[in-house]
Structures are given as C-alpha cells and as structure tokens.
Amino acid sequence: MTKRSGTKFGCFVAGTKGLGLLKGIINESPPSFIVSYQQNTSISQFDKIKKLSDNFKIPFYTRRDFSDALMNNVDVVFVAGWQFLISGHAEKLIVFHDSLLPKYRGFSPTVAALISGEKTIGVTALRPTAVVDAGPILAQMSIKIGYPAKIKDVYEKLSKLYAEIALKLISECPDGVSQDESSATYSLWRDSKDYIIDWSWDSSRVARFVDALGYPYDGARTKLASEEITIVDVLPVPDLPFVERWPGKVWSLEGGNPTIVCGKGMLKILRALDAHGNQVRFQKLRERLGH
C-alpha cells in the first residue's frame, strides 16, 4: 500500500456511470482534467459531463482533441464508462467496472446481473491489462439488491460506490490482487435484438428483464399485432394451472392493462409505449404478444 499526498488525477468518463463517478468526487476532490465523448445512444451523458466541467472550471477535452502530453501532469487517471482503448500510460490508469470481478467481465455487466437475479452486485477498480477486465484488483465494494430493481436506481447506488472507491484511491494506492481465473464469467455486448422479450421465460425473469433495460436504456420490447411496443412497467400476478400454456397470450384485460401468460407465472402490463412514445391502451382480449 502506497500513501499519496497531493495526488493529481484526471478522468476519462462517459455515460451514466462516468457521470456518476464525476458527480461523486468533484466537490471534494476535483480532477485536473476531464475527457469524454458523445455516445451514439440514448444513454450519452456528454452534455452533462461537459456542463459539470464548465461549472467547476475544469479543463475539458473530447476524446479526439485530448493531448497525450497532459497525461504527464497527473499521477492517476480514473476511467469509467469508457469504451475505447487508451494507449500508453497503463501504470497510471485505474479502470472502474460495475461487477464484482472476476464475475461478469465484459459488456453491460449490471444489466446481465440484474436479469440473472443476482442478490449482490458491485464495483471493481482494477489495473488494465491486455485481457479485458482481467487485471489486478485495487478495490472492490458491493451492495445487496432486492427485486424489483430498476436499472436507473441501481446505477445511482453504484455511482456512490464509484465515488467512494475513487476518493480512497486518491489518498492511497494498494498493490492489487490477482483475479481468480477459475471463477471468471463473462457478459456479452447487447444490440437491438437483445431487447426483445421472450415470453417463454418465467414471469420473474421477464420482470427483471423489463426493469434492467429501462431508462437510461431503450426499454424491453415486444410485438403487438404488427407493431413493436416498449414495455415500461410490469407486475407479477398469481399463476393459473393452464392445461395448455401459450406464452405471450393475453389472459385477462382490466382497465386497458392486460395480464400476459409467461412460460411460468403471469405478468400484468402496467405501462407500455408505442413507437412515438404514446401510452398503449390494450383494447382486445384476444391478443398475443411476441417477436
């Protein structure tokens, strides 16, 4: 463990997680510079990150206009929500990953963990290596999760862990602990096809899927007739012993809110949106949701 005094640090941050880290540390310990980029997704937080840097009069750079020479002016660089390779200066980089490594290495680890129903999730700070998310662990913190759990709320809780770890690492630098490779698991990247609900899943998994892909993501989707709709809020309801089970069929309709048969269990849809963001009001009992 190396104690630090008057540590100078920079931040490479993007997205919800990067913004959360920045918000959590900037009052107590502002960075020497901030680097970010505009993401081509609905979760881009570029404008908010830029505004925060302006408010605190911290030098701000985009990924493309950042000069590598600035790395020589800091002791540490925190990397959070970043999706690009940072060449050189590996000894200064501390990468934040929102999983309890070596579990859930890779992409969208919190989304994958919530869909899987993990009861404990967390954040790991590590040194980068050539193998993704496999470097020595510098710090790790966890929180308990109870369901239902909306991804936005979970990210807010994880952001506090990001900030707490970052503030600790500003003052002291542990040597790092090697990961147990035999315990490693991996999470794949997601695209638009991975937002489609599979009604053959049990109702609890479908509910977790809906909550894990809600704002700031684009939302879990399904087809109603020929129209794709986004499911925003659902409620598990008691199952019935169907002689023949047809996942995706509407079983009952109450006040425009349908109850859908799942592979196991049932869900009442409390809120759904069409492609224009208008609330969907279900009109017919004889409907089937699907791909």
Burial 144-160 (b: 16+ CB within 10 A, else e): ebeeebebeebbebbbb
Tokens, residue 202:
């049990």
> Of 75-84, 85-94, 120-129, 222-231, which gets the smallest average pLDDT?
85-94
Rounded Cα distance, 106 and 187, in Å? 5
Strand-pair category, 257-261 with 250-254:
antiparallel
Element (H, E) at 258: strand 257-261
The amino acid present at 60, given as its one-letter code, is: F
User: How is the beta sheet containing 33-36 ordered, strand by strand?
Assistant: 60-62, 33-36, 9-13, 76-80, 93-97, 120-126, 137-144
User: pLDDT at position 85, please?
Assistant: 83
pTM reported for the whole predicted model: 0.92
**In the predicted model, what is the mean pLDDT of residues 35-62?**
89
Return phi, psi of residue 272, to 5°: -140, 150
**In the predicted model, what is the mean pLDDT of residues 218-247?**
96
**In the predicted model, what is the mean pLDDT of residues 39-53?**
84
C-alpha distances in angstroms, 119 versus 52, 53, 122, 143? 33, 35, 10, 9
Rounded Cα distance, 123 and 135, in Å? 14
Query: For tokens 């791909």, what's the residue?
Result: 291
- Note whether 149 and 114 are within 8 A (CB): yes
Task: Decide if pLDDT at 145 tops 80.
Answer: yes
Summary mean pLDDT of the chain: 93
Query: For tokens 């638009």, what's the residue?
Result: 192
Domain locations along the chain: 2-187, 192-290
- The CATH code that applies to domain 2-187 is 3.40.50.170
Task: Decide if pLDDT at 224 tops 70.
Answer: yes
What percent of the chain lies above the pLDDT cut of 90? 80
Task: Decide if pLDDT at 4 tops 60.
Answer: no
| Architecture field, domain 192-290 | Roll (3.10)
**Position with higher pLDDT, 281 vs 43:** 281
pLDDT in tens, 79-117: 999 988 888 788 899 999 999 999 999 999 999 999 999
User: pLDDT at position 261, please?
Assistant: 98
Percent of the chain that is helix, strand, coil (3-state, to 5): 25, 30, 45
Burial 233-245 (b: 16+ CB within 10 A, else e): bbebeeeeeeeee
Please tell me the total number of residues recorded for the chain in this structure. 291
Burial of 39 (0-12, 13-18, 19+ CB in 10 A): middle
User: pLDDT at position 24, please?
Assistant: 92
What percent of the chain lies above the pLDDT cut of 70? 96
> Of 10-14, 38-42, 247-251, 257-261, which gets the smallest average pLDDT?
38-42
- Note whether 186 and 106 are within 8 A (CB): yes
